[in-house]
Structure 1
């Protein structure tokens, strides 16, 4: 377990005066008080990526609800994960296994909790946009994927519940200790009227609750290692996943302000197709740990990144039919139809070698439909 032998103290404002260092009971007590807050009873939407921080929040929220009398469990809790359809297969398999255990446990725990996965619109998936419409592989300057694959699907789910209930509260596992930018983001937004809630900057009617924001990474790992999850089993699989992948995960992304956290050198669990990062350390970590079946995915991602700026694979015109220049340099258009066919053929070869679905038949059909429309214009 990647926890230091001398973990740092937590500076959390616990009402009962107890030391908050590694104190799951204290976190649970805070969450229980917030859940029972008489000021509002809006639904909670818990962003669950399957990573260590969101797992700890989920663990603590379930524990908190179990400590409340059944007749007082009136606030709905929605555990919401996002599947971009190009997530790391190993991470996605782990996430689905946790969701399955959760659903089974919630059946007999009788908690007002639902488990949901959001996905991009069929016309906005990674493969339909890249192979169908020819969008170039994402990079730091043109990160078209985050909004369509992550922000829009989950934001629509949140806003739907805001419209139904007047407001919704996002329960997120974000921490100041994650990075300087995360700390600055948390401290920049003040809570509402001495509460634990902060208005979301881009989702009207959505408020944010961050129950573990003052914990360190060491604190998180120590709590997870010492306490079994209330839905059964242990956190051993999660700890092993991090060991094999050498660390972190892409965070829950709900606005363009948060998008820089997706596809950075410090975020390693994410889309296996991510060409924003120079090297996918999580997939390579799995291969180095002996999971050699992922090598074809590593090779394909690297190749997709390499061909992005090859002029022979890019159209001269943009999708709007214009030839554009910036600072005196030609701005290439989308991948050519020939390049898109090449990418699809190679992807299908990798899928056959990998032995599991990487692109659905629905996406392939939609890609062919887009090509037909373009060629007949």
Structure 2
């Protein structure tokens, strides 16, 4: 559908009826007799954009007096997102904010970010965590789940309960279909697996991918402009977005083998197809990011680049007798930082912040002192 996309004059009648039903369901849920806020997970991709679009439309359709419940449109920035996707999300967020102010809608546009001590570079370069892979995907929880979950918990604590709207669809994949099926209970809202006081609402769960693209290509966003920039982003990348992740059950969506917009540093995937697609589409300035990411993946399991002790001082041997090395050596951490700073210079992009560099160096000093203490405790010749 995407490659051959040509915007029709109007929605297909069958799709129009389905969308009308979704609009009615959104309206009915919003007008329920309580004040629990809505939180819309917005990754900037097609599905979350559609949900945000329909929620915006629904609020505009209501009389001002009926717009009683706050709506939070929440994105997550891991600080290592694909630069083109970051720029697109920022543009759309600015358009949403301007429209919400103009129409006096109860909408807050929010971006969550990892704790300063839990960023990708602080963990990778500072603490020496090996590049993430499928068996040790430390990034998802620290950079995605925790920041957004923290925001949801804050809103739930303040209001008693929140309703989280997610753009998940049964049609996305077999894995997603299985995940959706686990929560099919015949009701509109489901309890969130991990977040107390959070109900989950999946308004577009039964739409197909073609349905989503037809709608976005036909109907202009209520915050102004068109969805053409989003459509072009997908065409250039040949990919899809890593969705807003709020539980470990959703984590497989982050770092899969499909072409997804996500962290450009992601070493869970074998190849970053979306960033490669951007480069092939003419964004050659991002080619060094691909080279760095590939190098980072290549050094992960080099025993000469890993310390023997883990961060807690232990040596780890599995039940099968396999020795598991610890974090990257100090030499490798320094080399990674040097390469990141070089990357920053050659691309003109902010890759690592000054605060992150300072935190990295502080952790190095602490780790070096701890390593010296362990060696002294072990004694000479150990």
In 2, are the aligned partners of 1:3 and 1:221 still within 8 Å (CA)?
Answer: no
SS of equivalent residue, structure 1 residue 46: strand
Taking the aligned partners of 1:375 and 1:75, their CA distance within structure 2 comes to 52
Q: Does the alignment pair 1:280 with 2:272?
A: yes
SS of equivalent residue, structure 2 residue 141: helix
Unpaired segments ≥5 residues, structure 2: 6-12, 371-382
SS of equivalent residue, structure 2 residue 248: coil
1:111 to 1:69, Cα distance in 2 relative to 1, 3 A: same
Q: Corresponding residue for 1:346? A: 339
Q: Corresponding residue for 2:375? A: none
Q: Does the alignment pair 1:252 with 2:244?
A: yes
Taking the aligned partners of 1:190 and 1:235, their CA distance within structure 2 comes to 31
Q: More deviation in 267-276 or 297-306?
A: 267-276
The number of residues matched between the two structures is: 362
SS of equivalent residue, structure 1 residue 123: helix
In 2, are the aligned partners of 1:23 and 1:223 still within 8 Å (CA)?
Answer: no
Question: Whose helix fraction is larger, Structure 1's or Structure 2's?
Answer: 2
Taking the aligned partners of 2:282 and 2:239, their CA distance within structure 1 comes to 16
Taking the aligned partners of 1:185 and 1:284, their CA distance within structure 2 comes to 29
Q: Corresponding residue for 1:30? A: 25
Taking the aligned partners of 2:170 and 2:58, their CA distance within structure 1 comes to 23
In 2, are the aligned partners of 1:120 and 1:149 still within 8 Å (CA)?
Answer: yes
Equivalent of 2:151, from 157, 161, 178?
157
Q: Corresponding residue for 1:136? A: 130
SS of equivalent residue, structure 1 residue 257: helix
Equivalent runs, 1:1-377 vs 2, <5 Å? 2=2, 19-20=14-15, 23-38=18-33, 40-191=34-185, 195-326=187-318, 327-377=320-370
Aligned-pair CA distance for 1:220: 0.1
Q: Corresponding residue for 2:373? A: none
How far does the alpha carbon of each residue in 1:170-195 deviate from its partner, in whole angstroms, 9 at most, with x for none?
0110000011121121121144xx64
How far does the alpha carbon of each residue in 1:266-314 deviate from its partner, in whole angstroms, 9 at most, with x for none?
2510000000000000100001111100100000000000000011110
How far does the alpha carbon of each residue in 1:315-353 deviate from its partner, in whole angstroms, 9 at most, with x for none?
011111121112222101000010000000001111111
Taking the aligned partners of 1:309 and 1:112, their CA distance within structure 2 comes to 50
In 2, are the aligned partners of 1:76 and 1:112 still within 8 Å (CA)?
Answer: yes
SS of equivalent residue, structure 1 residue 45: strand
In 2, are the aligned partners of 1:146 and 1:262 still within 8 Å (CA)?
Answer: yes
Taking the aligned partners of 2:90 and 2:148, their CA distance within structure 1 comes to 17
In 1, are the aligned partners of 2:255 and 2:269 still within 8 Å (CA)?
Answer: yes
